[in-house]
A and B are shown apart, each in its own frame.
Chain A
């Protein structure tokens, strides 16, 4: 379980997070939705222990993320960032196997695990020997996902994982992620500014604005009972225009 209680964080005069509380049920996907500067990435970074909160706490399996517990907690989290965050000097196999290598897995076990994950995202052996510079944006993103899954952590944190991709690839990967999350039963927190992605992947959504929670709940609830006009405004801004809608 992932939980956040009364979390606040300022960077100088800027309020990044303002009394944020949320809870993600095991095996569900929770989307942090908002425009840039809404604090959604900061929230994720607090969960990773990369940013210490000013007040409140972030809990993973009931353990507060602190400098002391961080190492232990992070061992059970997979992390994916925009463009994959791959190391250019390592091959696909090298990148994916890195967490296992760090955890001291025997070489054979790592190789086996990498092959399994390759099957999961549809990569062949040759692909594993390539370097990031030889991959397309979508392929890099898949490698990032493989790396997050290599230790089979119960939780995944994804920061705008598809943000840098062109629309067609993006749509394809969104479908792929949905299937994967469902198949693997992970507890997922995903940061995005894309409403379509939020609807497609999120069991529940937290809409953030200037560090504050505007509304929380399933998408249908946000649409039916918007807590304030901003919710309708934000969701509407990304809806297809009526002229386009009638063509679908």
Chain B
């Protein structure tokens, strides 16, 4: 059947072109992770490896599961994060101890790359000069200062609560602030102390001073590459090249400058990585590459939407028919798909990971679940509101059961059902941008990257095509309407009343 063919086609398009021997490099969705992953990718490419970038994964949980499930081969991580968030044991601190602990999970880490990205406290340079602030312990003498911290820092035990106890600090006022806004707030003297990451690009600019953690409170967050053991074993030369090129080469100064290039000067991760490796990627080349990428992402996005909506039609229309047949079941069913709809998209995507890992499949399932409601509801409404007399006549004429459904009910409800499918498809074009958080690809890849790099152009490069695709889907459905809604029904709709 045509619909099934469409699903198969869509799944083929969606399935990432996975050359068996390509190295899959991942990253989390913040600047530094993108940059280090890109450096690793370019180093690998220079040795002749084929590289597949699966970057911008939405958080430690997702990135870790990706490498653990074998969806990626390696990604940049921090020792502190590995011990606390992955191994759940803060006592496992040293590189060797972490390697031993990871071995059972089929994972390993490189030697430290050089920089540490840990929490740090920062103050304005002029304030530091005036009050003589150089170390965190100096803050104890100035309880009149105000602080603004990111919500994670405020809550984590290795953040403000622990720091306060450790140093015996009090501040006049402590507020929550978004990391993206913290530097501005500091510059405008709205606050005196903020939490930063020790390699933030902004730290390379004048006007901000990082206070020394003189009593060694913050745990070590040394950057390493977290990789699958089987990858390291099967690609010994590639791994050795990576370690040679990266280990010990990226100290805090270098990393901060690279982050600044990306965050403050608007360079792409690819350009920043190339510069670190002693090459230049000019803007023209970068634009050409972006265009090519948009093309690939378009196919991915379209594939996701087509497959999710096609599956939702195959499942949703029968569910809607069932709901219209049985009042009790119908209500329960509509409630169930309604509840699905209330789960925030990101949460639903995250629920998918333990079940289906990361990548296209969980994204597809989540999108499918979202697309169900409008289709089930439209089918149900379309069938439940049909003219009773017309159904009765069908019965008298001898049409009953499936025959009546196929010959009378579904054609009469087709306008409603198609409207539901159209709504579902347009929604899905939008929701599919979230697939990028779990490595599902599509336009969201650019949006996530743009958000991480605070780069409006990249965000728009993802958002505008997504909007255009929504319009296109709308247009396509106008045509589909003409094809699938019986002509007689269209005449009824066109007739003045």
Q: Which residues of A contact B (CB under 8 A)?
A: 48, 50, 71, 74-75, 77, 79, 81, 85, 87-91, 98-99, 102-103, 131-134, 147
Contact = CB atoms under 8 A, between A and B. Distances in A.
B188 to A, nearest CB: 66
A133 B397 contact: no
B390 interface: yes
A89 B412 contact: yes
Given A89-B412, A89-B488, A89-B489, A74 B390 contact: no
B411 A50 contact: no
Contact of B393 (A71, A81, A88, A131): A81
Contacts of A85: 389-390, 393
A99 B393 contact: no
A221 to B, nearest CB: 33
B403 interface: yes
Given A88-B488, A131-B491, A74 B398 contact: yes
B417 to A, nearest CB: 13
13 contacts: A48-B396, A71-B398, A81-B389, A87-B390, A87-B488, A89-B487, A89-B488, A90-B488, A99-B398, A102-B397, A103-B398, A132-B488, A133-B491
Contact of B412 (A48, A71, A87): A87
Given A89-B489, A90-B488, A91-B488, A50 B396 contact: yes
Given A79-B393, A131-B488, A131-B491, A87 B398 contact: no
Contacts of A79: 393, 396-397
A131 B399 contact: no
B313 to A, nearest CB: 20
B392 A87 contact: no
Given A81-B389, A88-B489, A132-B488, 5 more contacts: A74-B398, A87-B411, A88-B488, A102-B397, A133-B492
* Number of chain B interface residues as a range: 20 to 34
Contacts of A89: 411-412, 414, 486-489
Given A81-B389, A133-B492, A88 B396 contact: no
Nearest to B407: A98
Given A79-B393, A81-B389, A85-B390, A102 B398 contact: yes
Contacts of A88: 412, 486, 488-489, 491-492
B495 interface: yes
A101 to B, nearest CB: 8
CB-based closest 10 A-B pairs: A89-B486, A131-B488, A133-B491, A102-B398, A89-B411, A89-B488, A85-B393, A99-B397, A133-B492, A88-B488
Contacts of B489: 88-89
Interface string B453-493: 00000000000000000000000000000000011110110
Interface of B: 389-390, 392-393, 395-399, 403, 407-408, 411-412, 414, 486-489, 491-492, 494-495
Contacts of B411: 87, 89
Given A81-B389, A87-B412, A89-B411, A133 B396 contact: no
Nearest to A157: B396
A98 B486 contact: no
B392 to A, nearest CB: 6
Contact of A98 (B392, B399, B494): B399
Contacts of A48: 396
A131 B412 CA distance: 14
Contacts of A102: 397-399, 403
A102 B397 CA distance: 8
User: At the interface, is chain A mostly helix, strand, loop or mixed?
Assistant: mixed
Given A81-B393, A88-B412, A75 B398 contact: yes
User: Which among B397, B411, B492 has the highest number of chain A CB atoms within 10 Å?
Assistant: B397
A90 B393 CA distance: 14
A74 to B, nearest CB: 6
User: Which among B395, B398, B408 has the highest number of chain A CB atoms within 10 Å?
Assistant: B398
Contacts of A90: 486, 488
B387 to A, nearest CB: 9
Contact of B392 (A50, A103, A133, A134): A50
Contacts of B491: 88, 131, 133-134
A81 B390 CA distance: 10
A19 B305 CA distance: 63
B397 A98 contact: yes
A98 B411 CA distance: 14
A33 B411 CA distance: 36
A31 to B, nearest CB: 20
Contacts of B407: 98
A98 B488 CA distance: 16
A133 B393 contact: no
Contacts of A132: 488, 492
User: Which among A71, A88, A98, A102 has the highest number of chain B CB atoms within 10 Å?
Assistant: A88
A89 B415 CA distance: 11
A79 B396 CA distance: 8
A133 B398 contact: no
B415 to A, nearest CB: 10
A89 B412 CA distance: 7
A71 B401 CA distance: 13
A77 B397 CA distance: 9
Nearest to B393: A85
B486 to A, nearest CB: 4
A88 B396 CA distance: 18
Nearest to B415: A89
Contacts of A50: 392, 395-396
A147 B398 CA distance: 12
A132 B492 CA distance: 8
Contacts of B389: 81, 85
User: Which among B396, B494, B495 has the highest number of chain A CB atoms within 10 Å?
Assistant: B396
A79 B399 CA distance: 14
A75 B396 CA distance: 8
Contacts of A98: 397, 399, 407
A90 B414 CA distance: 13
A98 B389 CA distance: 16
A88 B412 CA distance: 8
Contacts of A99: 397-398
B488 A133 contact: yes
B248 to A, nearest CB: 74
B433 to A, nearest CB: 37
Given A87-B412, A89-B411, A102-B403, A74 B488 contact: no
Nearest to A98: B397
Contacts of B412: 87-89
